[in-house]
Amino acid sequence: MTNYKEIVTKAVISKGKRLFSTTNSVEVSNPSTVLGCWVINHNFSGTKSNNKIIINGSYDVNIWYSYDNDTKTAVIKESNKYSEAINMKRNSDMDEEVIVRSLQQPSCVKANIEGNKINYTIEKVLGVELVGDIKVKVETNDEDPWDEIGEEDVIESKEENIKESIDDNFIKEDTI
């Protein structure tokens, strides 16, 4: 006879990833060349809002540039905050935990100068997982019943094993 059992466990209900691209600009006096741009201190968290996951985060951008016809250099630091929304397929009546991961850390993919502004583009890839309780139904088969073993059977079996392991010729006398 086939029976079914239900197991309740936590599992990933839904997951997805998305590339985000943001272009910002910062004003500086008389820039000549962008020498480098890097992103540090990336922090983020996610919350549910209807069928969307809202990711709020921030990062710092450091831009190294030259000015005065490439005779001097400087680094400018700018903090950026962001709020990104991801649509997720989910069951709205379930209580789910939101897990957000940075699959590709924010990095500067483009920086150029337009007049006294440095325009830069930051790209990042964020992944979201929704973890919730699910029920898994598994098929179970009835097994043959176990034979009952009495306590006296176990004792007799132990005594027989002990008797069989005794070697009467264990101690041998040496003659000189």
- Please give the full DSSP string across 80-97, using - where no structure is assigned: EEEEEEEE----TTS--E
- What is the total count of domains within the chain? 1
Asked which of 37-41, 50-54, 78-82, 117-121 is least confident by mean pLDDT, the reply is: 50-54
Q: Is residue 174 part of a domain?
A: no
**Strand order of the sheet with strand 2-27?**
2-27, 117-141, 97-114
Q: Check pLDDT > 70 for residue 43.
A: yes
Q: Is residue 153 part of a domain?
A: no
| Residue at token pair 């040496």 | 174
Contact 84, 21 (CB under 8 A): no
Q: Does the pTM exceed 0.95?
A: no
Asked which of 13-22, 57-66, 100-109, 144-153 is least confident by mean pLDDT, the reply is: 144-153
Domain ranges, residue 72: 2-137
**What confidence tens digit (pLDDT) does each residue in 1-35 have?**
568 889 999 998 888 899 999 999 999 988 999 99
Q: Is residue 144 part of a domain?
A: no
- Taking the C-alpha atoms of residue 153 and residue 161, their distance in angstroms, rounded to an integer, is 12
